[in-house]
Amino acid sequence: MRRTVEPAMKAPWFALAVGLLVLFEASSASAEVRSSTFASAALGREVAYVVDLPPSYDAAGSRKYPVVYALHGLFEGSGFWERRGLAPILAALRAGGGVPEFLVVAVDGGNSFFVNAPGGRYGDMLTQDLVAHVEASYRVVPGRRGRALLGISMGGYGALNIAFGRPALVAAVSTHSAMLLEAMPSAEQGARRGQMAAFHQIFGNPIDAALWAANDPLAQARRLDAKRAPALFLDCGAEDRFGLATGHRELHRVLDERGVAHSFELPPGDHGYEYVRTRLEKSLRFLGERLR
C-alpha cells in the first residue's frame, strides 16, 4: 500500500530545508570577488585590480576591515588570485573561523617587480595610488595597522622590498618563494630566457647595478632597523628549482644578525602554485593574527 504524506507533516522539514538553503545562498552571495580599475597617477593610466570581499561586507553597515594586498608572480596579473585557486583557500578559512574577516586586493603589476624604474613607477602605483584608492573606495581600516602584504615569487620580492624600504606602510608581510638572489640575475646562474627579458625590461640591459642594489631585499635587510620592521613570515620550497632556498637562508641569517623578529620555514617543495597552495593557509593565518 502506498503511504501518502500529508502536507502538514512535511511542511516543517520542508520549510527548514528551504530556510537553510536561502541562508546558504545569502551567505555565499555576500562573499564576492570583484574586478575593477583605478587611476594611477604614478603610471598615468588605469590599472586593473580585484578585491575579495569578506562574507559580511555588504551587510556590516559602518564596520571597517583590514586589507591584505596580494602581489602576483612573473607573467601573472590581478586575476591570479582566482585563477590559481587561492580564493577558495581563503573562503574555507573564513567559513571555519580560521582568520578574521579582511579584504584581499590583488593589483596588476605586470612584470614590474613592483619597483620604481625607468619603465614605470610601479612601487608608487602600489604604495600610494592603490592604497589611497582602496581606503577611499572601501570600508577599510586606514593606516599601517590595517594593512598587510602577501607576495608570491616576483610579488614576494616586491613585498619584501616594500617591507624593508617603507616599513611604516604595513603591519605584516608574508611571502612564498620570494625572488631572493644573492647576485644580480644572469643566464649563467640559471635564469630562463623569458625571465631575463623581464629583468632587462625593468633593470636595464645590461642590468643597472645601482638600480638592482637599491631594490634588492637582501641588500635592504642589511640596513633594516629591527624596531621599525613589520611582522614577517617567509617560506620557500627546499627544492625550489631556481635556487631561491639559498637566498632565503641568507635573508634568515641577515635578519637574525640584525635582531629582526621573523618566522622562517623551508619545507619540502618546488617553485610554483602547487607549492603555494599547500602553504597559503599558514601565511593567511599569520597575517590574520597581526590584523586582529
Give tens-digit pLDDT for 185-230.
887 766 788 889 999 999 999 999 999 999 999 999 999 999 999 9
Cell reading at 150: 602577501
CATH class of domain segment(s) 33-291: alpha beta
| pLDDT band, very low/low/confident/very high, at 287 (cuts 50, 70, 90) | very high
What pTM, to 2 d.p., does this model score?
A: 0.89
The whole-number pLDDT of residue 25 equals 38
What is residue 23's predicted lDDT score, i.e. its pLDDT? 37
pLDDT score for 192: 83
pLDDT of residue 189: 67
Residues 6 or more apart in contact with residue 130 via CB below 8 angstroms? 38, 40, 47, 49, 69, 105, 107
Measured CA to CA, the distance from residue 162 to residue 275 in angstroms comes to 24
Per residue in 67-77, pLDDT (tens digit) is 999 999 999 99
Say what the pLDDT of residue 135 is: 98
pLDDT on residue 31: 61
| 45-53/32-40 β-pairing | antiparallel
Question: Which letter, b or e, does each residue of 104-114 get, where b requires 16 or more Cβ atoms within 10 Å of its Cβ?
Answer: bbbbbbbbbbb
User: Distance (Å, rounded) from C-alpha 133 to C-alpha 145?
Assistant: 17
Local confidence band at 125 (pLDDT 50, 70, 90 cut-offs): very high
**Gap between the Cα atoms of 91 and 30, Å rounded:** 12
Between vectors from CA 216 to CA 141 and to CA 73, what angle results, nearest 5°?
Answer: 65
Dihedral angle of Cα 111, 113, 119, 121, to the nearest 10 degrees: 130
What is the pLDDT averaged over residues 104-122? 97
Query: pLDDT above 70 covers what percent of the chain?
Result: 89
Tens of pLDDT, residue by residue over 137-170, are 999 999 999 999 999 999 999 999 999 999 999 9
Higher-confidence residue of 20 and 45: namely 45
Query: Which has the minimum average pLDDT: 11-20, 52-61, 192-201, 269-278?
Result: 11-20
How far apart, in Å, are the Cα atoms of 3 and each of 6, 8, 123, 125? 9, 14, 71, 69
Between 271 and 24, where is the model more confident? 271
Given a contact cutoff of 8 angstroms between Cβ atoms, the answer to whether 264 and 248 are in contact is: yes
Q: What's the whole-number average pLDDT of the chain?
A: 90
pLDDT at 191: 77
Helix, strand, coil percent content, the chain, rounded in steps of 5 = 45, 20, 35
State the pLDDT confidence band at 8, using cuts at 50, 70 and 90: very low
- pLDDT category at 258 given cuts 50, 70, 90 is very high
Judged by DSSP in three states, 189 sits in: helix
**Which sequence spans correspond to the domains of the chain?**
33-291
